[in-house]
Amino acid sequence: MKTGAQLIAEERWHQQDSYTDGHDDEHTAAELAVNAAILATFGTDAFVMGSNEGTDPWGLVGKYYDNRVRQLTIAGALIAAEIDRLQRAEEKP
């Protein structure tokens, strides 16, 4: 069985194969982190403020409604994507 870190790393590699850095860089309003938070808090008593009261703008919760591990895997990879985006933004003059 793969660890959570392995699952997240594999999902991030998949995201990088599917989307360019430029695509991620367009999400300057923290959409990557917000959608990660929505996935991470789904089914808990927590909700994400500022995200239309916890709605699912990208449809990821609905798509993986019955797979909590998949939701958390994607959430972790989206957090990594946000970190990558922020680091690229810091490198720009």
56-85 pLDDT, tens digit per residue, is 888 998 999 999 999 999 999 999 999 999
**CA pair distance 25, 89, nearest whole angstrom:** 8
Q: Which of 50, 28, 27, 25 lies closest to 37 in space, CA to CA? A: 50
Residue in 2, 71, 88, 3 with CA at minimum distance from that of residue 36: 71
Q: What percent of the chain has pLDDT over 90?
A: 70
How far apart CA 45 and CA 41 sit, in angstroms, is 8
Instruction: Identify the pLDDT of residue 55.
Output: 77
Q: What is the pTM of this model?
A: 0.88
How many CB atoms neighbour CB 91 within 10 A?
7
